[in-house]
Amino acid sequence: MDYRQKIEQLIRKHVPEGDIQLTVPPDSMGDFALPCFPFAKVLKKSPLQIAEELQKKLKADFIEKTEVKGGYLNIFVSRQDFVQDILKKVLKEGKEFGRGKPEKTRVMVEFSQANTHKAFHVGHIRGTSLGESLARILEFGGKHVVRVNYQGDTGMHVAKWLWCYQKFHPKAAIKKDEAWFASIYVEAVKKLAEHPEFEPDVEELNRKLDVRDKSILEIWQKTRKTCLESLESIYTELNTRFDHYFFESEMEEPAKKISRELAEKGIAEISDGATIIRLDKYNLGVWVLLRKDGTVLYSSKDIALAQEKFTTHKIDVSVYVVGKEQEMHIMQLFKTLELMGFKQAKDCVYVPVSLVKLPAGRMSSRTGENILYSEFKNELIEEASQEVKKRFKVSEEEADKRALAIAVAAMKYAMLKQHPNKEIIFRKEESMRFEGDTGPYLLYSYARAASILRKAAKPGKLVMPALHEKEIALSKCIGEFPEKVGQAARQMCPSILANYAYTLAQVFNEFYTECKVIGAKEEPFRLALVEAFKMILGSSLNLLGIEVLEEM
């Protein structure tokens, strides 16, 4: 029985209008809670009065009791039926439990945006993990999702790198090495700060890059290709994929054309040779589209990208998973699209991603004060490998495989458990703990459930026993999964699902501590409960982009 649906049908008989917002409250407050505030305007009564009247009218065999708390009506259903219903539904539907019906809505999620010729550092893990998780959550809810990556493969940062390489390392072999590429970019920034007289040389190189001058084309293409191959290896390790790649180099010509058109229409203007849009009256300052030498900036390229997304890929919604530091830029973009009369401007959604800081302070690709992904990953893998070898007798190859999964889980979960708009101070030691609110703890909880199921004999007939409070708590927590996925999708916030996964693991471990499974007279029922838990935790971790381990 779908209790939520049945209760909503009962409520609708007495409240024909208004949004029914059934929630799952803490254990002592019932199985469902109905806030009556949305009905106040329709019924012209106070929420408390509505709750009291509904309490008298809401009757059904499966409802044990109801309680009024302020403007809420708390509903308790039959424990035996409630738990049995959840178990049957989860075990029958498996990975499909909670999945939404397919929709025609096409949502494009743009994320990661790692630039070539720069470092992919710990901070990049956050945006990449967040975007992949959002894509999975939206897909699970029924949306048709298109994952895209918009990468900066041209522009001033590339010009600085190429300038430094040609001037100071002209004979150095091109290395498929993230640290090597990052070091040259950092060196370029430092040398230019010390010797501003070199700036004109970099500007000239950028102009050549803009027009694809033959003198710079070959080295740009070669280094670009090497950088992109390196990034693809990282995405594979992070369990991330893209359906399409956009590149800034592809947007340059359309951006120039758009900038000229905006100037002709009077939306933009020429000021000291540069093409700009004045957005002062919207408190958005001045937005520069083209430099005075005619080279393009991020601004005009982003306008071209927005048009390309909707016209070529026929999407309904465009989600930008972009750094919080770029908020002004994104707001300028959205306002400009609106001023241009771009009909889909209203369908552009911004998900800001705040900074990841080290205990010592913020990271920067410009100064080199960051932790490279590759170096950081290797440190975590070493720690995880030692832990695996200490706990299990496995081959070196198997230990390395598990260690990579644990390291990635530690990184991704540490990023996803926080609200996207909240800054993170990343502490490696905390993220790698096998207890507490960490990725390894969730993997351990999943592996523990898998171990119980492997040790069990063939399950017998499922008979409902007299229920222990921990069995009720675990069943109830399992049943919350669809609601949590829905909340995460509506709020574009995977941290809702990450925090749910941690709570679920905690409740499971409390159950396991107090309720013997193997050899207990309630074994068939408790095995079913363990299996349901394993399915839902596995689904939760999958939606976070974290691969599970059957054994740690």
- Does 368 score more than 50 pLDDT? no
Average confidence score pLDDT of the chain? 92
Same domain, 416 and 385: yes
Q: What is the pLDDT averaged over residues 203-221?
A: 94
Distance CA 304, CA 256 (A): 9
Tell me: pLDDT of 98 over 70: yes
Q: Does the pLDDT value for residue 547 go beyond 90?
A: yes
For residue 27, what pLDDT is reported? 63
Q: What is the pLDDT of residues 115-130, one digit of tens each?
A: 999 989 888 999 999 9
Averaged over 167-190, what is the pLDDT? Answer: 92
pLDDT of residue 360: 66
Choosing from 362, 390, 410, the residue where a domain stops is 362
Give CA–CA dist 193/199, Å, rounded.
9
Q: Is residue 410 in some structural domain? A: yes
Neighbours of 358 (CB within 10 A): 16
% residues pLDDT > 70 (the chain): 97
How many domains does the chain contain in total? 3
Count of CB atoms within 10 A of residue 198's CB? 16
| Lowest-pLDDT choice from 22-36, 170-184, 198-212 | 22-36
Does 352 reside within a domain?
A: yes
Whole-angstrom distance, CA of residue 493 vs CA of residue 497: 8
- Regarding whether 160 and 186 lie in a shared domain, the answer is yes
Q: What is the CATH number of the domain that holds 463?
A: 1.10.730.10
Q: Is the model more confident about 390 or about 96?
A: 96
Residue 361: its pLDDT value, please?
56
| Predicted pLDDT at 255 | 97
Q: Decide if 17 is inside a domain.
A: yes
Please compute, for residue 53, the number of CA atoms within 13 A of its CA located in the half-sphere on the CB side. 14
Structure tokens at 31: 């199985």
What gap in Å lies between CA 144 and CA 25, rounded to an integer? 32
For residue 370, name the pLDDT band (cuts at 50, 70, 90): low
Domain span at residue 339 reads 111-362
Tell me the average pLDDT across 44-56.
Answer: 94
295 vs 252: CA distance, rounded Å: 8
* Distance between CA atoms of residues 467 and 360, nearest Å: 50
pLDDT average, residue stretch 38-64:
92
Q: Are residues 388 and 357 in the same domain?
A: no
36: pLDDT confidence band, cut at 50, 70 and 90?
A: very high
Indicate whether 339 and 472 sit together in one domain. no
Q: Are residues 66 and 128 in the same domain?
A: no
* Greater pLDDT, 459 or 201: 201
pLDDT, tens only, 325-342: 999 999 999 999 999 999
Q: Are residues 192 and 212 in the same domain?
A: yes
| 199 has a pLDDT exceeding 90 | yes
* Rounded-to-integer distance, Cα 391 and Cα 368, Å: 37
Average pLDDT of the segment spanning 475-497 = 95
Q: Is 88 within a domain?
A: no
What are the residue ranges of helices labelled H in 15-72? 40-43, 47-57
Q: Does the structure show a pLDDT above 50 at 420?
A: yes
pLDDT at 362 over 80: no
Q: Is the pLDDT of residue 113 over 80?
A: yes
Give the domain CATH number at 49. 3.30.1360.70
- Locate the DSSP E strands across 283-354: 286-290, 317-323, 348-353
Confidence label for 365 from pLDDT (cuts 50, 70 and 90) = very low
Domain boundary among 340, 362, 384: 362
409 with 300, same domain: the answer is no
Same domain, 352 and 411: no
DSSP H helices, 195-291, are 199-210, 214-237, 248-264
pLDDT band at 369 (very low <50, low <70, confident <90, very high): low
Residues 329 and 386 in one domain: no
- The b/e string for 249-263 (b: 16+ C-beta within 10 A; e otherwise) is bbbbebbbebbeebb
- At residue 358, the pLDDT reads 73
Q: What is the pLDDT of residues 313-329, one digit of tens each?
A: 999 999 999 999 999 99
- CATH code at position 194: 3.40.50.620
For residue 85, being part of any structural domain is answered with no
The pLDDT of residue 395? 86
> Between the CA of residue 109 and those of 135, 146, 312, 325, what are the distances in Å?
6, 6, 15, 19
Determine the pLDDT at residue 356.
87
Residues 163 and 232 in one domain: yes
pLDDT over 90 (residue 279): yes
**Contact (Cβ atoms closer than 8 angstroms) between residue 330 and residue 322:** yes
| Residue 483: inside a domain | yes
With beta carbons less than 8 A apart as the criterion, state whether 498 and 543 touch.
no
pTM of the model: 0.89
Assigned domain for 135 exists: yes
Residue 332 and residue 262 share a domain: yes
| Residues contacting residue 426 through CB under 8 Å, at least 6 positions apart | 122, 356, 357, 358, 414
For 40, the token pair is 């106040």
Mean pLDDT calculated for residue range 379-408:
88
pLDDT surpasses 70 at 460: no
In a domain, 405, yes or no: yes
Over residues 382-400, mean pLDDT = 85
The amino acid occupying position 161 is W
Task: Please indicate, yes or no, whether residues 128 and 42 belong to a single structural domain of this protein.
Answer: no
Q: Please state the rounded mean pLDDT for residues 291-318.
A: 95
The pLDDT tens digits of the residues spanning 228-247 come to 999 999 999 999 999 999 99
The pLDDT of residue 342 is 97
Contacts of 72 (CB under 8 A, 6+ apart): 33, 34, 35, 36, 47, 51
Burial letters 18-53, b for 16+ CB under 10 A, else e: beeebebbeeebbbbbbbbbbbbeebeeebeebbeb
Average pLDDT over residues 494-518: 97
Rounded Cα distance, 486 and 43, in Å: 28
Quick check: 17 and 42 in contact, CB under 8 A?
Answer: yes
